[in-house]
Structure 1
Amino acid sequence: MKSWLAGLTLSAALLTQAAPIDDLVKAAEMDDGRTVLGLLLKGVDPNQHDARGRRAIFVAVHEGSQRALDSLLASPLTRVDEANAEGETPLMIAAIRGALPAVQALVKRGAAVNRAGWTPLHYACSGPDNGVAAFLIAQGAELNARSENGTTPLMMAARYGNSDLVPLLIKAGAEPRAANEQELTAADFAQRGERDKLAAELRRLMKERQRAADAANSAK
């Protein structure tokens, strides 16, 4: 009888420690870093999905819940590079939102700056930026990374990014002559985005780079 009661008491204690994942995700959504930390200390797995199929780290990034994100990243159990159903990592989501503090925190925690296919830099160049692209480049982001269809960050910046991104990428060494699988260059992307002036400047750079390359080859 005593052993049975002891087992029952232990089971009850474990149940009180194992708070549901729904509470953790809700705390992340509300940017309640203290509750997030408390639930993690009680044994909640931060990588589980809640009843709506959401993971806490993605919710924190999407909602701009920096305090909650910091608490999640403080746990060694939180997997920072596990992608969602669309193949996006938390760093990619933070990058496209221009959430520099979140990007910095994720990279500090070990999130991969480079990956096969679409990268955080591609995503940064598609959003408001807020210094995210420059930070990722400083962290070693591949300037001429290719998505599955050959798209580069420069192409995304040319069509979707803010006005500072293309000069930033070019200065850092991005290749304006690169083309994707549809034979579209960054200049073509700019043209499709009705950024005619930028398209003209990119075409000028392409010709300039090609002349320099031809001259270098002739000198060999």
Structure 2
Amino acid sequence: MFVSAAALAAPVDDLMVAVKRDSDVTARELIRRGVDVNALDQNGRTALTVAIQEQSAKVLPVLLNARGINLSTPNKFGESPLMMAIIGNQTELAKQLIARGAATNKGGWSPLHYAATRGNVEIMRLLLARDAYIDAKAPNLATPLMMAAQYGSEDAVRFLLSRQADPWDRDTLGHTPLEYAKRGGKEDSIALIAAAQRKRRDPGKVRPLAPLSPASAAELRGEPIPENPESIPMIYPPGQEPAAPAPLP
């Protein structure tokens, strides 16, 4: 028997309505009847995504306990349910999602970026405990430390630095976390990041080692040092060249 696409979509639409109305009884009955809890609505959202957006407190436990639910399906903007819970300051829900195995890493903007933006150290700690990448790169190469520096809190910056976040990472415009802290006008974070940069050499300014002289190379290899090794020309900064020796009388 032919079943139209509209008829197939109807149960999913009914579930979305139940979610928006926060009707746990209806949502539970629809799931019992086999509605796909991972289906997308016309805006590319799952029922879980809609429930988080609407803060449907009674429906959320029903969805979280539904068999086969995908906790990490992103919306059309690439935001996972965990990211949406974090940015919406729904900390307890975010903790539940992490505990239930929601993805803590993803390409582009990540949950750690969002937690850093909110300055939520508690969630950042949980994410890192689940192997979230501390220097995750957004599409513009911004890192969680940059987000914490501009939008988050001093505690968030201090926490990330204590976990070895790179203070010298650069975005696509070449800005480091220090520029982000200055942009946010956060004096305490500016001081923390500046201190971290002083302790850690800027990898962009590290010069490669000069090649070994033939004599040094032979010594390292345990070989006889050449009697007449080639001289290594000395290169001086402009204006600091040694004066030429005076001519012999």
TM-score (norm 2): 0.70
Which one of 38, 57, 60 corresponds to residue 48 of structure 2?
A: 57
Higher helix share: 1
User: 2:91 — aligned with what?
Assistant: 100
Partners of 1:173 and 1:205 lie apart in 2 by 10
Give the distance between the partners of 2:192 and 2:135, measured in 1 at CA: 19
Between the two proteins, what is the percent identity of the paired residues? 36
User: Shift of the alpha carbon at 1:27?
Assistant: 2.6
Is residue 2:113 matched to residue 1:127? Answer: no
Q: Is the 8 A contact 2:145 2:165 kept in 1?
A: yes
Once the two structures are superposed, what CA deviation does each residue of 1:61-120 show, in whole Å capped at 9, x if it has no partner? Answer: 123334422211212332222211111111111122232222222223322111122111
Q: For residues 78 and 35 of structure 1, do their structure 2 counterparts lie closer, same or farther at Cα, with a shift above 3 Å needed?
A: same
The answer to whether residue 71 in structure 2 is matched with residue 84 in structure 1 is no
1:68 — aligned with what?
A: 59
Offset of residue 137 of structure 1: 1.7
| Structure 1 alignment gaps of length 5 or more | 1-6
Question: What is the distance in 1 between the residues matched to 2:114 and 2:16?
Answer: 24
Alignment: residue pair count: 199
CA pair 106-175 structure 1, distance change in 2 beyond 3 A: same
For the pair shown, which has the larger CA radius of gyration, 1 or 2?
A: 2
Q: What is the alpha-carbon root mean square deviation over aligned residues?
A: 2.7
Determine if contact 1:122/1:153 at 8 Å carries over to the other structure.
Answer: yes
SS at match of 1:131: helix
Q: Which residue of 2 aligns with 1:22?
A: 13
Aligned to 1:114: 105
Answer yes or no: is 1:136 the counterpart of 2:151.
no
* Cα distance, 1:146 vs structure 2: 1.1
In structure 2, relative to structure 1, the CA distance for the partners of 1:33 and 1:163 (3 Å cut) is farther
Between the aligned partners of 1:57 and 1:111, the Cα distance in structure 2 is 12
One-letter code of the match for 1:168?
Answer: F
Q: 2-side partners of 1:75 and 1:52: how far apart? A: 22
Q: Which moved more, 1:127-136 or 1:46-55?
A: 46-55
The offset of 1:36, in angstroms, is 2.0
**Is residue 172 of structure 2 the alignment partner of residue 167 of structure 1?**
no
Residues 51 and 116 (structure 1), Cα distance of their counterparts in 2 relative to 1, 3 Å cut: closer
Distance between the aligned counterparts of 1:150 and 1:52, measured in 2?
28
Give the aligned residue type for 2:20.
Answer: E
Q: Which moved more, 1:113-122 or 1:128-137?
A: 128-137
Q: How far apart, in 1, do the equivalents of 2:24 and 2:146 lie? A: 37
Residue type at the aligned position of 1:76: R
Of structures 1 and 2, the one with the larger relative CO (CA 8 A, separation 6+) is: 1
Deviation at 1:53, TM superposition (A): 5.5
CA spacing shift, 1:163–1:201, aligned 2, 3 Å:
closer
Alpha-carbon distance change, 50 to 184 in structure 1, aligned in 2, over 3 angstroms: same
The one-letter code of the counterpart of 1:85 is K
